[in-house]
Amino acid sequence: MLRYLLALFIIFTLNFIIPRTMPGDPVTNLLGENYIASEATIQELKMELGLDKSLPAQFLDYWRDILTLRLGYSYHFNQKVSSLIFMRIKWTLALLFPAIFLGAILGTILGALSGWKKNKLANKAMTWTFLAVYSSPPYFLGIIFLYVFSFKLGLLPFKGFYETGGFLDVLQHLFLPILIMSAFTASRNYMIMRGSVLIEKEKLYVVYARAKGLTGNSILFRHIFKNASLPVITLIALDFGFLLSGALFVEIVFSMNGMGTLIYEALMSRDYPVLQGCFLIITVMVIAANFIADILYSYIDPRVREKA
């Protein structure tokens, strides 16, 4: 817990510093480059936004807002950051959680089977396929899939989360982004699980299981699978932030009105409160994912409980 609290403090501090080191000025972006305003008007606007204060004073205001659970007010969108994030994050989570769930199931099962029977031609072909997906950024896969299935074949929509708002309409719009994120997540879990099974199947308890009369996949799923899945649990937690950033890029490619486009628009307009609020939420989600992984790890592996 102390480690997580220290991590939160450092990340929250960086969250304040990094947006302010970017070139550009929020007031200039708000007024527009072609708008001519007097120095008094600019100063008044800075005072309203709290940008007239020194950086240490802004930093103290920033921490006071965090401790009182206030995320501030958006310069660009003209509304509370908390309501803006709540409105957008539900779509990002609708993209992210199915991808994590499907990727975890497909990646671990197929990776385990591939590591158990590594010399089969089908498993070799599957490994090369997952390796190609694993080596490609999600936004690159998004562009390729969008070009093939939407532009060339016309099977799926080009952009957005919905048109009519119906369940099938939302599902049709989400199908391609979820497919991309699921394939990417599955490829990472596949490669880790395959390597883990290759290591585990050479250990003595597998020889003992064979000596008891167990054969084939019964050894894999009754003995090896649980031990081999431990690195995958850690990977999912550690990569939660990476997967979330991948989802944000996929959102931008598909012009989805989620957290990805929100961060992009806030970045372009130098909207500090929105950037800070988005990164705070992402930080808390990543830390929570790692904390849950620690608990699951100790539950699955008795050696961790014994050490504790």
In a domain? residue 75: no
Residue 76 lies in a domain: no
In the predicted model, what is the mean pLDDT of residues 139-143? 84
Residue 260 resides in a domain: yes
Position 245 pLDDT exceeds 80:
no
Note the pLDDT of residue 53: 76
Domain co-membership, 198 together with 241: yes
Q: Are residues 191 and 222 in the same domain?
A: yes
Asked if 216 and 95 sit in the same domain, the reply is: yes
Same domain, 30 and 61: yes
Asked whether residue 175 is domain-assigned, the answer is yes
Stretch 220-243: mean pLDDT: 75
Q: Write down the mean pLDDT value for the chain.
A: 79
Tell me: do 23 and 117 sit in the same domain. Answer: no
Q: Which of 15, 32, 67 is the last residue of a domain?
A: 67
The number of folded domains in the chain is 2
Q: What is the pLDDT of residues 184-207, one digit of tens each?
A: 888 888 888 888 888 888 888 888
106 occurs within a structural domain? yes
Regarding whether 243 and 119 lie in a shared domain, the answer is: yes
Residue type, 154: G
The model's confidence at residue 49, banded by pLDDT at 50, 70 and 90, is: low
- Listed residue (77, 180, 189, 78) closest to 136, CA to CA: 180
pLDDT digits (tens, 9 = 90+) for 20-31: 777 766 666 566
CATH number for the domain including 238? 1.10.3720.10
39 and 85 inside one domain:
no
The string of DSSP codes covering 33-98 is TT----HHHHHHHHHHHTTTS-HHHHHHHHHHHHHTT---B-TTT-SBHHHHHHHHHHHHHHHHHH
User: 268 vs 19, 22, 57, 265, 274, CA distance in Å?
Assistant: 11, 10, 25, 5, 11
Q: What global pTM score does this model have?
A: 0.72
Range of the domain at 220: 81-307
Residue 271: strand, helix, or coil: coil
Please classify residue 40 by burial: count the beta carbons closer than 10 Å to its beta carbon, then call 0-12 exposed, 13-18 middle and 19+ buried: exposed
Same domain for 175 and 209:
yes
Burial class (CB in 10 A: 0-12, 13-18, 19+), 54: exposed
Instruction: Report if residue 73 sits inside a domain.
Output: no
Confidence of residue 161 (pLDDT cuts 50, 70, 90): low
* Residues 240, 112 within the same domain: yes
Whether 193 and 56 share a structural domain: no
- Does one domain contain both 155 and 250? yes
Q: Are residues 56 and 181 in the same domain?
A: no
